[in-house]
Chains A and B, each alone.
Chain A
């Protein structure tokens, strides 16, 4: 192919449009975020260089740390709620039970629905007066269990976490299922001949065989937990009194509600850093065990 005339020009014209849009909209802005993050700027007036001042302010802000805490809650929810549940479901579905296809279809459905829709539906479930949950509790005579699910700071993060599990569990289920189905039959047969059946085989053979997929899902789930925005923005907007705020909402409010673009950019850089650090730590932990 290299002998073709004008190849270089053709390559240039082939890559240029994609690169231009991609670099211009996805990569250059990261640099700009870094630049704005050392500025004090309300978007209208002139920018003033303030060095690491924004970062210092953010890191000494209690609301920011509250949002970090909530991000950690979402992260843990993903790791101990979604992943084991998704894995268990995949293990059950991989046994060739009748109706597996049906359960897979239903299980994956919430992943396809937009997170806005998921949030609005869960908003109706949690609605204090008209919601499904409180009405259901009343219907079975458990009025005393009724709560202000999203408005009470004892319950709000838990309520959000459950909606978050509901939304994403199916994704991990199908990823694990795909991995389980790629295990060769001989492995299972050999295990059975050696007397490893049922639970024992699952723990000793099956799960170790899909270790790398589990690791990918762990990293994916963590990085997703730093990106949560729609669900919380719509369910609670971060309230009551910042109790359900996560870093992305803190950033959104700083920049677009309070017009502090420099400060908001610094938060967005911190989101980027936090997620990169956690992911690289997880990756390292994963590869150490492999060695």
Chain B
């Protein structure tokens, strides 16, 4: 580990740099061109803009209905996230801290969800939502987002809560606290690190989801950001710089979120992947 040969370093840095360039260039190219005039882009897609066209952003924001999509995405993402994490934590609490007859079965049922591709359920979910008149409502997205992320949420939280020492709740019992009181005031606070992971994972999954939105949302009023963007780019084929501006607007918040919460996000995704 101590001595590294120069040749190895040369190879490593060359390879890593090439890889980094491959990852950065498409995004960089898009952001740079989003600041150009359409004619300028057509003339040379690799030059830097002569003057920065921030008006592209205003126009994209308006033409692409980005305010509506952002609002919908934020609403659906956070409501699903809160419901998933609350219900998941409660379920994980009972599964990890209590013995009861159907415990094993219930736990395996929750785990099963990680194996099932959502595509195997898509048609029935669409038909159920149609029957319940929930197509084109927030609820039609919140319910599947919650249901499908309960598996991983319960799995991660159950594993974490199981690790607490057995007498964790004793002081609470002594003070006469009920089961739910113990959950809220003792268990939940010490589960915070795992809760953070689960919150971040749910956020990313909900924020990026496309397939359910595609099937369950038809009206522009309820479209989420990924669906709205996909449609916008499909329709607005004339102006590439406008498309790039819209994509950049959507890209920036998620990149900031990533850079701020990098460590937890990587840990969470790794855990999710390894366990999923």
Contacts and interface: CB of A to CB of B under 8 A. Distances in A.
Interface of A: 1-2, 4, 6-8, 10-11, 14-15, 17-19, 21-30, 32-33, 36, 43, 88-89, 92-93, 95-97, 99, 102-117, 119-125, 127, 130, 132, 135-136, 139, 166, 170-171, 174-175, 178, 185, 188, 192, 198, 213, 216-217, 220, 223, 226-227, 229-230, 233-234, 248, 251-252, 255-256, 261, 264-265, 268-269, 271-272, 275-276, 279
A21 B46 contact: no
B106 A26 contact: no
User: Which of the listed residues A28, A110, A112 has the most CB atoms from chain B within 10 Å of its own CB?
Assistant: A112
A92 B16 contact: yes
Interface in B93-119: 93-95, 97-100, 106, 109-110, 112-113, 115-119
Contacts of B230: 116, 119-120, 234
Contacts of A92: 12, 15-16
A121 B23 contact: no
Given A7-B179, A171-B273, A112 B204 contact: yes
Interface in B35-77: 41-42, 45-46
Say what secondary structure dominates the interface of chain A.
helix
13 contacts: A102-B20, A112-B257, A116-B227, A120-B230, A121-B27, A122-B26, A166-B26, A175-B270, A198-B8, A229-B119, A251-B119, A268-B120, A271-B119
Interface residues of B, number: 99
Contact of B229 (A117, A125, A132): A117
Contacts of A117: 226, 229, 247, 250-251, 254
Contact of A276 (B24, B115, B124, B180): B115
Contacts of B45: 130, 132, 135
A174 to B, nearest CB: 5
A97 B13 contact: yes
Contact of A36 (B22, B124, B207): B124
B262 A264 contact: no
Given A89-B16, A132-B45, A230-B211, A114 B226 contact: yes
B1 interface: yes
Interface centre among A109, A139, A256 (most CB of B within 10 A): A109
A192 to B, nearest CB: 8
Nearest to B183: A14
A21 B254 contact: no
Interface string B133-146: 00000000001101
Contacts of B19: 89, 103, 106-107
Nearest to B20: A106
Given A124-B243, A268-B123, 12 more contacts: A1-B98, A11-B98, A18-B154, A22-B147, A28-B124, A89-B19, A103-B20, A113-B254, A117-B247, A122-B26, A130-B41, A269-B120
B23 A24 contact: no
Interface in B200-246: 204, 207-208, 210-211, 214-215, 225-227, 229-230, 233, 240, 243-244
Contacts of B266: 104, 108, 174
Contact of A25 (B23, B27, B125, B229): B125
B97 to A, nearest CB: 7
B156 interface: no
Interface of B: 1, 4-5, 8-9, 12-13, 15-16, 19-20, 22-24, 26-27, 29-30, 41-42, 45-46, 87-88, 90-91, 93-95, 97-100, 106, 109-110, 112-113, 115-128, 143-144, 146-148, 150-151, 154, 169, 173, 178-180, 183, 204, 207-208, 210-211, 214-215, 225-227, 229-230, 233, 240, 243-244, 247, 250-251, 254-255, 257-259, 262, 265-267, 269-270, 273-274, 276
Question: Which one of B179, B211, B265 has the highest number of Cβ atoms from chain A below 10 Å of its Cβ?
Answer: B179
A29 B12 contact: no
B26 A22 contact: no
A1 B168 CA distance: 11
